[in-house]
Amino acid sequence: MAPSSSMEIRDSRKKPTSQRGWQLKEMMQERIVLIDGAMGTMVQRHKLEEPDFRNESLANHPKPLKGNNDILSITRPDIIYDIHKEYFLAGSDICETNTFSGTWVAQADYALESLVYDINFKGATLARRAADDVLRETGKNKFVAGAMGPTNRTLSISPSVERPDFRNISFSELVQAYGDQARALLDGGVDLLLVETIFDTANAKAALFAIEELFESEYQSVPIFVSGTIVDKSGRTLSGQTGEAFIISVSHAKPMCIGLNCALGANEMRPFIEAIGKATDAFVICYPNAGLPNTFGGYDETPETTGANMLSFAKDGLVNVVGGCCGTTPDHIRAVAEAVSDVKPRVPSSNQASDHMLLSGLEPLKVGKLSNFVNIGERCNVAGSRKFCRLIKEGKFDEALAIAKLQVENGAQVLDINMDEGMLDGKAAMAKFCNLIASEPDIAKVPLCIDSSNFEVIEAGLRCSQGKCIVNSISLKGGEEDFIEKAKIIKRFGAAVVVMAFDEEGQAADRDRKVEICQRSFNILTQTVGFNPNDIIFDPNILTIATGMEEHNNYGKDFIEATRIIKDSCPGCRVSGGVSNFSFSFRGKEFIREAMHSVFLYHAIQQGMDMGIVNAGCLPVYDDIDKALLKLCEDLLWNLDPEGTEKLIAYAAQHSGETKTAAVVDEWRSNSVEERLQYSLIKGIDKYVVEDTEEARTNFSLYPKPLNVIEGPLMKGMSTVGDLFGAGKMFLPQVIKSARVMKKAVAHLIPFMEAERQARFEEMGDTISEEDRYNGTVVLATVKGDVHDIGKNIVGVVLGCNNYKVVDLGVMVPADRILEAVIREKANILGLSGLITPSLDEMIHVAKEMERIDLKVPLLIGGATTSKQHTAVKIAPRYTEPVIHVLDASRSVVVCSSLLDEKIRSEYLEDIQEEYEEVREDHYENLREKKYLPLDRARQLKTKIDWNNSQSDIVRPSFLGTKTYLNFELRSLLDYIDWKPFFDTWQLRGKYPNSRYPKIFQDANVGDEARKLFADAEKMLQQIIENNLLEARGVVGFYPASSVADDIVVYDPEETGNEVCRFFGLRQQSEKEINDCFACISDFIAPRESGTQDYIGLFAVSAGFGTDQMCKRFEAEHDDYSVIMCKALADRLAEAFAEKIHEMVRTDLWGYARSEAMSADDMHKIQYAGIRPAPGYPSQPDHTEKITMWHLMDIENKTGIGLSDSLAMTPAASVSGLYFAHPKSSYFAVGKINQDQVEDYSKRKAQSISETEKWLGVNLAYDPVEE
């Protein structure tokens, strides 16, 4: 990992390039060098519009170009030149070209692939001109870095969760894209190339591969800078590599400078830049963001703060080059330049691992003189494992992955992968398996050994690995020219290489031939190819002994002796071998083979063997081998006994019964019944729980009563579950499975307890209180008008697991029933849940009623629409007893236990009261500070659409009126499911960058459980589809429409002038940073006075028909897990149905985007044309608008989808909304509105102000007068 050599000698056969960049090496040794700040931040200051991104040749370009900053080098070169010059004059020594997205891959989003050369060449010449002009003006030398960004594709992560092996771009395509970009940059006169903002190291390796190809054959080389991006405090890139693994993966390109930029501010980046410096002897670059982004995506860090942060880095000797990324400006660079001007730069020290072989997967592997033997897992080899071969040939790659994972778990530090089998497409199989490994962090953490006798297969594997691999293998068998060509390619990929002891004459068998070939190969690799000696691994051929042929008897001894000589004469190299070859003559006698391997390795390692391909889980300890067998193996290895082979065969025959038996399945079943019950509960296994519970019940000496079984092993197991969940060592799906096991056990015991209770009652009456067995009684309810209960059910399960008696009243429960249940059950706590905004008012009502009847029970508030602020401001003041917002199920136990523990209750409530008082003060202070436009002024600043020139944007739907869909095909919805909310429901939240699906599967903390949960979900989905357990129904309608101020007038499809209904809109009023647009949904419909005929669409869909029946069956089986799973999947299917129908609307039913070709992922990111806002949500927060929808389309009669008193849809898994087609329509949040708009809205809707305030409570910018 040494820095690049100094300026290369000019080669007349190569195209000349700027050689100024080599001066930077000396500069970085003398002082800290400055690189510029953000280009995008400066461009944004110019507030450019679409015309700025076009010139005469692009005037009729079919795609929008606004936002494509790279094209500005062509269309607005004046702006880009000025920005470069500003940064140079502020103190930057280096400025990056405006080419961050300059590959055809990124430009494809704008259909500008044909302009890639021009974009990069012009970007380079502009920066070059700015640098030269500043040099003339100031006399200071300035440098231009050709910026090469990461593109918007990734080689290490699949865009499709269903196909984790799929990639939407290939390594070769990226190499070509980066090569095209680098050519233009070099032609434009850049002084160095900067491969930056690397979130996937495989992409960076493609860029470096392309650059090295150019330097080898076309262009004189220039310095290379490399900068990665650590995405969060885990210290890993987006593709999962640690910082040190990233350094190892790219250092083969010998960058002059290496470091980090973007993603984090300086404070967060510090430990990672420090680690980078320790892992490299190159110079270190660091250009962080201006702190972390604020809630609006902007950056608040001042230049002074940035300067102080960089001064801290500089004083501690961490950096050679500093600058800024997102949010930084010339002022920031000026402050940094002033801060570090007198500080000495970091002195690159010789790397402590310079004599190590360095490899990497997601994590680094260092192999040095003091390292233990490196186990290379051998079972992912179609030639070495019949099972693996069968699975690959049958296409069962998931099961083959399990073999790889087991190899790593058993100690393999490198994973050998071989797909050389006559009936396989080796290249395709290698690529697919390597891509699948990339999706499994538990496997991908170790380096790969790409193993094939076909070099094309090796290249296929190398193209799919972001880490530093081993190639196994090349040799001199095809002559020196072939050997050198392959070695150069391997070096360009940055891999280490295994060299077999073969040459033009054949395989080396004896010691001297092994040594001769390895020494010759070493000299060629180090002197001709320039290979790092530490990256050379020799395999001097472990050959089979005990074959019956006398000339084979010295093979073991010759290998070990050759190893010692090779290590001495080829300094830095490593020695490896395929250990299984040694014992091949004893196939089928695994216990003999494993003993032979152990003996062979015991001696070979002592003589310098560093690594070997061996089944890491099948090696007996040398000292544990049977003494007779050990002596036989030693005699064979050293060829000490001419009859050794016959003796070992005889030993094998005598001991043939000593083969290993398969691991006993369910070994825990041999434990005591108490241990078995606890194990079942913790692991969520219900297979044996009834029989184990019965066994415990009938052990009357230990458990005289059935209740004792619950109080003993069952509660002990659930207590452990609660502790593990509280400590974050179990996750919600596991807890719910544990609860299912518990319920089945208790259900088995209930009849016996009832019989016992009845008998006792008949004798003397039952004086034992059932409540004494519980930590407390909690009543839970979803309030009146709301039908959503998944979150509430989860809370109930979690509390039940922690020994609380839970009384769940269900959904749509009116206040009087809730209060009756609290009194009847003698509840210690009441919990209310709600999802829709009207539920908030109902919660206030319940709190008032609790106060009125003088209840003394704490009230817990939860649900998606609730918040700590609303609880503190709106609910808590209505009830004198504690009112506490519970964020999610994991907090419920802590809150309940704190409320019911007399020792800590007072202090806990004191803290809550202080916290909520602060929340209330902040709320009212914000209301006082917030400014609002008068409604008339906000209307004047509505969304700007030129309706006189928008005729082409208005498309008549294919029909007017409604179309109903019954029993819609569920299978067709699967590809449209957005899974992230599903994992949110189960409170499985990965840590960034693995917070979203499918990356959550890679999360170190919740990934495994997410994968299990997903498997259960897919299984239930299949059952639902195959057995028609749920039905999807929906209705879509289109109507002529026009806008009148803030309202949308809907006309009869048959008589266009006849108004049939009106949708009322609400307009933004809260002042913004730029008060140029205050939106209302009516803005997206042509005004009536324009004379333009426009249209509006409506829809309502549901996938919840059948949910109740499914849940009742699961409830009868005490299966809470499946109840919650069923409801969660119904919700996902309903949202997927909405997505599918909307796609049909855009491309067919309305047809305003017929050419659309969009993935489900892009739909979830709202990249489609048009919008579908729903009443009750931010763009129109008034739920009462649903009533108009239901009347207009007769939704309930057509589909069965109804509305509750609070206007929640039934079934709960339902979605509804309006369709807007205009290309300028967009989602927005109305936010807070003032009293003038509430009064105006009430008049338009012909309802009282108090009624309007009730439905819009959370949107009021004032406190309404209490009635």
Distance CA 397, CA 391 (A): 7
Predicted confidence band at 299 (pLDDT cuts at 50, 70, 90)?
Answer: confident
Per-residue pLDDT, 755: 78
Convert the pLDDT of each residue in 1069-1099 to its tens digit: 988 756 678 999 999 999 999 888 999 999 9
1105 forms beta bridges with 1031
What mean pLDDT do residues 906-930 have?
82
Convert the pLDDT of each residue in 95-151 to its tens digit: 999 999 999 999 998 999 999 999 999 999 999 999 999 999 999 999 999 999 999
Quote the tokens at residue 1189: 């929808």
Per-residue pLDDT, 618: 61
Distance CA 466, CA 199 (A): 11
**Which helix (H) or strand (E) covers residue 1130, if one does?**
helix 1120-1144
Strands in 374-377's sheet, in edge-to-edge order, are 574-575, 536-539, 496-500, 470-474, 448-451, 414-418, 374-377, 611-613
Place of tokens 């205050």: 1078
Q: Is the pLDDT of residue 814 over 70?
A: yes
How many Cα atoms occupy the beta-carbon half-sphere of 1130 within 13 Å? 30
Per-residue pLDDT, 335: 95
What mean pLDDT do residues 1106-1132 have?
91
**881 phi, psi to nearest 5 deg:** -80, 170
**13 phi, psi to nearest 5 deg:** -80, -10
Length of the chain: 1267
What mean pLDDT do residues 953-960 have?
92
Nearest to 89 by CA among 144, 118, 130: 130
Q: Is the pLDDT of residue 661 over 50?
A: no
Per-residue pLDDT, 858: 96
Predicted confidence band at 664 (pLDDT cuts at 50, 70, 90)?
Answer: very low
Distances (CA, A) of 616 to 24, 452, 590, 1219: 48, 21, 14, 60
> Are 637 and 545 a contacting pair, CB within 8 Å?
yes
Distance CA 712, CA 678 (A): 10
Convert the pLDDT of each residue in 880-896 to its tens digit: 999 999 977 667 888 99
Q: Is the pLDDT of residue 526 over 50?
A: yes
Predicted confidence band at 1173 (pLDDT cuts at 50, 70, 90)?
Answer: very high
Q: What is the DSSP string of 406-446?
A: HHHHTT-SEEEEE---TTS-HHHHHHHHHHHHHT-HHHHTS
1203 or 371, higher pLDDT: 1203
Q: Is the pLDDT of residue 764 over 60?
A: no
Convert the pLDDT of each residue in 959-990 to its tens digit: 999 999 999 999 999 999 999 989 888 888 77
What mean pLDDT do residues 518-526 have?
97
Most confident of 411-420, 702-711, 1101-1110: 1101-1110
Per-residue pLDDT, 709: 86
How many Cα atoms occupy the beta-carbon half-sphere of 745 within 13 Å? 35
Quote the tokens at residue 502: 């073969």
Per-residue pLDDT, 735: 66
Q: How many Cβ atoms from other residues are within 10 Å of residue 35's Cβ? A: 28
Quote the tokens at residue 576: 């490896």
Amino acid in the structure at residue 604? A
Q: How far from chain centre, in Å, is Cα 157? A: 9
718 or 91, higher pLDDT: 91
Share of the chain above pLDDT 70, in %: 92
* Average model confidence (pLDDT) across the chain: 88
796 or 228, higher pLDDT: 228
Per-residue pLDDT, 1085: 95
Convert the pLDDT of each residue in 226-282 to its tens digit: 999 987 777 888 888 988 999 999 999 999 999 999 877 787 888 789 888 888 999
Per-residue pLDDT, 681: 86
What mean pLDDT do residues 674-693 have?
88
Share of the chain above pLDDT 90, in %: 58
Per-residue pLDDT, 235: 80
DSSP three-state, residue 961: strand
Predicted confidence band at 471 (pLDDT cuts at 50, 70, 90)?
Answer: very high
Quote the tokens at residue 309: 């942060």
Q: Is the pLDDT of residue 1159 over 50?
A: yes
Per-residue pLDDT, 914: 86
Q: What is the DSSP string of 121-170?
A: HHHHHHHHHHHHHHHHHH----EEEEEE---S--SSS-S-TT-TT--SS-
Distance CA 354, CA 607 (A): 22
Most confident of 78-82, 662-666, 845-849: 78-82
Q: Is the pLDDT of residue 1233 over 70?
A: yes
Q: Is the pLDDT of residue 4 over 50?
A: no
What mean pLDDT do residues 1196-1210 have?
90
Predicted confidence band at 662 (pLDDT cuts at 50, 70, 90)?
Answer: very low
Per-residue pLDDT, 698: 92
Phi-psi region of 613 (alpha: psi -120 to 50; beta: other; left: phi over 0): beta
Distance CA 1216, CA 1097 (A): 11
Predicted confidence band at 865 (pLDDT cuts at 50, 70, 90)?
Answer: confident
Convert the pLDDT of each residue in 438-458 to its tens digit: 988 889 999 999 999 999 999
Convert the pLDDT of each residue in 1122-1157 to its tens digit: 998 999 999 999 999 999 999 999 999 999 999 888
Q: Is the pLDDT of residue 326 over 80?
A: yes
Per-residue pLDDT, 8: 47
Q: Is the pLDDT of residue 178 over 70?
A: yes
Residues belonging to the active site: 786, 788, 839
**560 phi, psi to nearest 5 deg:** -65, -40
145 or 163, higher pLDDT: 145
Distance CA 112, CA 905 (A): 65
Per-residue pLDDT, 730: 60
Predicted confidence band at 399 (pLDDT cuts at 50, 70, 90)?
Answer: very high
Q: How far from chain centre, in Å, is Cα 854? A: 49
Per-residue pLDDT, 547: 82
906 or 762, higher pLDDT: 906
Nearest to 1009 by CA among 660, 738, 610: 738
Tell if the pTM clears 0.85, that is, is over it. no
Per-residue pLDDT, 1075: 66
Per-residue pLDDT, 1: 40
How does 254-288 read in b/e, with b if 16+ C-beta sit within 10 Å?
bbbbbbbbbbbbbebbbebbbbbbebbbbbbbbbb
